[in-house]
Amino acid sequence: MPELRIAVGSDHRGVGVKERIIEQLRKLGQQVIDAGPSSQDSIDYPDVAADVARRVSNGEMDRGILICGTGIGMCIAANKFPGVRAAPCHDDLTAELSRRHNDLNVLCLSADMLGERLIDRMVEIWLNTEFEGGRHARRVEKIGALEVQNAAALVNDQKGGCS
């Protein structure tokens, strides 16, 4: 497994899971940044999702892992950043196919609905699965083109351009 730079963050509900994942990643020889929080005091998940997603988007980190109650809120916030492909995974197959077919670079997990052994397995599968490329690369490129197209449309709308 290649050494990756991985940012890991959670909301207050996912702190325990986040700490377990960080420990696991370090044991597997990965470079890890803890994007917080460090306590179970209530926080707003979009803040942590933005921190991790921004680091992946700008290339500072190769991948990210986000944990909240369901994984869904983190996913929504992370996908607002260019080049980020985030999805909630809930079993071995979704963890594998998210990498193989979608080149997922931000794994979103549920702190409330997944057991420790399943999470450990999913993280390892997600780390070890390579992007398949081929027809999947064409589709991922189309997703990137949609990001660029929609960002340009937004800029034009803000400048009073054509609608």
pLDDT one-digit tens code per residue, 103-116: 999 999 999 999 99
DSSP E strands, 5-113: 5-10, 31-34, 63-68, 86-88, 106-110
- Edge-to-edge order in the sheet of strand 86-88: 31-34, 5-10, 63-68, 106-110, 86-88
**Of 149, 158, 123, nearest in space to 17 by CA:** 123
Domain ranges of the chain: 5-132, 133-163
Provide the CATH number for the domain formed by 5-132 in this structure.
Answer: 3.40.1400.10
**Of 56, 53, 48, nearest in space to 13 by CA:** 48
pLDDT score for 157: 84
pTM of the model: 0.94
Confidence class for position 161, pLDDT limits 50, 70, 90? low
Instruction: Quote the CA–CA distance of 30 and 7 in Å, as a whole number.
Output: 10
In percent, the amount of the chain with pLDDT more than 90 equals: 90
**Of 84, 86, 41, 85, nearest in space to 67 by CA:** 86
Question: Over the chain, what is the mean pLDDT?
Answer: 95
Residue that has been written with the tokens 């996908």 in this structure: 79
Residue 163 has pLDDT above 70, yes or no: no
The arithmetic mean of pLDDT across residues 56-66, rounded, is: 98
DSSP code, position 66: E
pLDDT score for 160: 72
Annotation says 68 is catalytic: yes
Helix, strand and coil percent figures for the chain, each rounded to 5: 50, 15, 35
Catalytic residue (one of 12, 68, 89, 162):
68
Rg (CA), the chain: 16
More confident residue, 69 or 159: 69
DSSP code, position 17: H
Catalytic residue (one of 12, 90, 101, 136):
101
Residue 152 has pLDDT above 90, yes or no: no
